[in-house]
């Protein structure tokens, strides 16, 4: 579906059946979108993992880190259809088709798509704005895009740049790739490279066959904050890209399957800004809800 068609439906504020709206709202509030507490319950277990087998920081490990750094420098944006499976700890489960656009450092747009058009749209831009539009209710929520609002409204307790990079199969903090890791170990069939984070926690990058297979972060007590797994690496326009992403945060899990992703498309900044049509009810989500109607 083209961005223009979606924008037309956004501006029209045409209604959709309540059941579809409710499902779509829960789905978008699950992701980011683009943009939630993110695979199987085992991914979010806080039980201490088996002790890994330490190994030296080998030339092979150094080469995998360097390759990921090269990929980080070359990948700037993606646009793709996707199928997303979402499940929550309370038993809710949804599957939906989405249109996803991501542009580094922090822009994302996720549209939950039904046969008759978008049923929910979420957008965040590099200026730090988060917007969520429900066309069925003709309501636009707007506020700051930060870890607090992403956790509250889309269950992703991450700053937008980290969320965008994780969805693109990149390290959530690319600067760490230029710093020697604190340890390297063999665990779960992966080469796991670990760095200490500024708050005393750890961040692990796991590699299999030279490709990124896992990003995991724990706090200083060893409790897992999130675990993201990457698989089905295939060519996408001349470069490898993970077509399957499984992610877990405490309380929810998702599996995202990209369909023919386009790498490094030119995405206009306006794609990540939602402009209300006349009559759209607006709710400010910073510091409490403030309702208004667009003129």
CATH code (residue 254)? 2.50.20.10
Sign of torsion over alpha carbons 34, 160, 168, 41: negative
Q: In the numeric block, which tokens belong to residue 85? A: 């499976």
Q: In the numeric block, which tokens belong to residue 262? A: 């386009």
- Judged on CB neighbours under 10 Å (0-12, 13-18, 19+), 7 is middle
Eight-state DSSP code of residue 270: G
Are the CB atoms for 95 and 83 separated by under 8 Å?
A: yes
pLDDT in the model for residue 112: 87
pLDDT in the model for residue 106: 96
- CA 225 to CA 3: how far, in whole Å? 34
Domain with 99 in it: 3-293
> pTM score, two decimals?
0.78
* Low-confidence spans in the chain with pLDDT less than 50: 1-46, 289
- CA 155 to CA 28: how far, in whole Å? 10
CB atoms within 10 A of CB 101: 23
Burial 123-142 (b: 16+ CB within 10 A, else e): bbbbeebbbbbbbbebbbbb
| Total tally of structural domains belonging to the chain | 1
């Amino acid at each position: 579906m083209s961005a223009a068609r979606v924008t037309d439906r956004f501006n029209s504020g045409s209604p959709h059946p309540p059941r579809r709206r409710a499902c779509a709202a829960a789905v978008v509030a699950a992701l980011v979108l683009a943009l939630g507490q993110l695979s199987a319950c085992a991914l979010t277990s806080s039980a201490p993992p088996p002790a890994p087998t330490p190994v030296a920081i080998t030339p092979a490990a150094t080469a995998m880190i360097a390759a990921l750094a090269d990929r980080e420098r070359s990948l700037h944006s993606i646009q793709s259809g996707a199928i997303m499976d979402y499940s929550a700890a309370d038993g809710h489960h949804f599957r939906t088709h989405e249109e996803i656009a991501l542009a580094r450092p922090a822009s994302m747009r996720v549209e939950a798509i039904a046969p008759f058009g978008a049923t929910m749209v979420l957008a965040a831009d590099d200026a730090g704005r988060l917007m969520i539009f429900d066309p069925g209710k003709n309501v636009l929520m707007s506020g700051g895009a930060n870890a607090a609002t992403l956790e509250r409204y889309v269950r992703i307790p991450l700053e937008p740049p980290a969320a965008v990079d994780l969805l693109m199969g990149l390290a959530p903090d690319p600067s760490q790739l230029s710093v020697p890791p604190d340890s390297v170990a063999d665990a779960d069939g992966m080469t796991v490279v670990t760095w200490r984070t500024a708050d005393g926690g750890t961040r692990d990058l796991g590699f299999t066959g030279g490709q990124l297979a896992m990003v995991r972060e724990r706090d200083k007590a060893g409790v897992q904050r999130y675990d993201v797994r990457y698989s089905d690496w295939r060519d996408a326009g001349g470069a490898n890209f993970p077509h399957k992403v499984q992610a877990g945060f405490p309380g929810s899990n998702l599996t995202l399957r990209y369909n023919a992703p386009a790498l490094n498309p030119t995405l206009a900044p306006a794609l990540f800004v939602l402009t209300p049509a006349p009559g759209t009810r607006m709710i400010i989500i910073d510091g409490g809800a403030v309702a208004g109607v667009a003129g």
